[in-house]
Structure 1
Amino acid sequence: MSGFDTEQPEAADPQRLISPSTATEPVEGGLRPIKRLTSDDRLARIHPETLAKTELLYYSDFARTFVRSDYNFCAAKMTVARGGKLLALEAEFHTAEAFLRKALAWANRLHGRSAPFTPERVTLEIKHPMSGRLVRLLTIYDQLFRKTMEALVARSVMAHDRQAALDAAAARIKQIPQVCMPDNDRYAPEGVLLPDSNDTH
């Protein structure tokens, strides 16, 4: 895509999600399985730094999927993040925000033709300032989604260029849950992720 770098971040860590069926199915020996808190439960139990709600209007499948699978997890982890983990999150937000601003500026320069869109909406809890920043990133992604769709209708952007921009923007946002996964003590004070002592080589 001319004039716009769509380089994506390095590959994400292994999946953190555990299938609900494996968390609740009985095991041999008669012991009751451990009931894992869902992200919704975890977020509900956290004493907030800020307490607000916002309504997010979204149009894209990416925003819908992220809200359903990652937002509450990130919001809970951000609320309890300390020390080096906060620095790592701040750095990742800075990178993602700069990338999405650049992508949206590129999309705004494209000639577009108005197209009808019907948004979905969801109410999200904001218990930490970083949760609000995450909502803004999703909002910018959706603006990019709509602007490039209008440009596609006007034939001022190629479909593969549009998809490359959306994929790169989504990859930048998806890095935030990856930074949220490790516990606080896995980060050095300067925000560098330390090796996992449980890893075997």
Structure 2
Amino acid sequence: MSGFDTETPEGVDPERNIALPNDGHVESGLRPLKRLTSDSRLDRIHGDTLAKTELQYYSAFAREFCRADYNFCAAKMTLARGGKLVALDAEFRVAEAFFKKALTWAHQLHGRSAAMSAESVTLEIKHPLSGRLVRLLTMYDALFVKTLEALFARSLMPHQRKLALDSAQARIKQIPFLCMPDNDRYAPEGELLPNPDNAH
């Protein structure tokens, strides 16, 4: 069993086996990212910081999050004020604590090291929260790699790995969920208020 709180995903296959290639090298099989969605939106925003970072990633989840969600979140976080900032900060604290616990667990597993090919993408950092989001993606990919190595060494079952990664993905997916509502939808203490358009 995993050493941190998870939810049981549906459709797991505990009998699935993954074999390590003879040369110990694993290709990522991921296509390089050429364009990220919401890049024009982010370009129009002048943020608190104007930095760029190169994210090395191994997982399809990190690739797809960068492609579809990162620039949207980065733009929304740069414009966030008041209760929305409070809500985002609180969610980052929960996610960071989760990943710290998950990585501690993963590093205790016996693993068979494999040389994996990484892809990279350049991401803009216009707000400190954007940097924290990049850090979460880096931590997710570290969990992805460590649990894959444990899978190769048969110290972790496929369904246990899927459970861990599903839980980790759910934590990161909370960030774009909180970015969607406008600033005025959040109370000063960070609570999301009901949408007045849906009031009956």
Residue aligning to 1:121: 120
Kindly, what percent of the aligned residue pairs are identical? 73
Matches for 1:122-141 after TM superposition, within 5 Å: 122-141=121-140
Task: Letter of the 1:136 partner, please give it.
Answer: R
Matching of residues 1-16 of structure 1 within 5 Å: 1-7=1-7
Q: Which residue of 2 aligns with 1:91?
A: 90
Letter paired with 2:3: G
Q: Deviations over 1:135-177 (max 9, x none)?
A: 0000000000000000000000011001100000000000000
Q: Is residue 188 of structure 1 aligned with residue 187 of structure 2?
A: yes
Q: CA deviation at 1:114?
A: 0.8
> Matched residues in 1 for 2:2 and 2:105: separation?
10
**For 1:39 and 1:3, how far apart are their aligned partners in 2?**
37
User: Structure 1: which 5+ residue stretches go unaligned?
Assistant: 9-37
Task: Establish whether residue 168 from structure 1 lines up as the match of residue 167 from structure 2.
Answer: yes
Aligned to 1:78: 77
TM superposition shift of 1:200: 4.0
Q: Is there any run of 5+ residues in structure 2 with no aligned partner, and where? A: 9-36
Distance 1:144 1:53 in 2: 24
Aligned to 1:157: 156
**May I ask how many residue pairs the two structures share in their alignment?**
172
Partner of 1:16: none
Q: Which runs of 4+ in 1 moved over 3 A?
A: none
**TM-score normalised by structure 2 residue count:** 0.84
How far residue 2 of structure 1 moved from its aligned partner, in angstroms, is 4.1
Partner of 1:19: none
User: 1:42 offset after TM fit, Å?
Assistant: 1.2
TM-align CA RMSD: 1.2
Q: Tell me how far apart the structure 2 counterparts of residues 2 and 137 of structure 1 sit (CA, whole Å).
A: 20
Q: What TM-score do the two structures reach when normalised by structure 1?
A: 0.83
Distance 1:127 1:67 in 2: 15
CA distance in 1, matches of 2:65, 2:2: 28
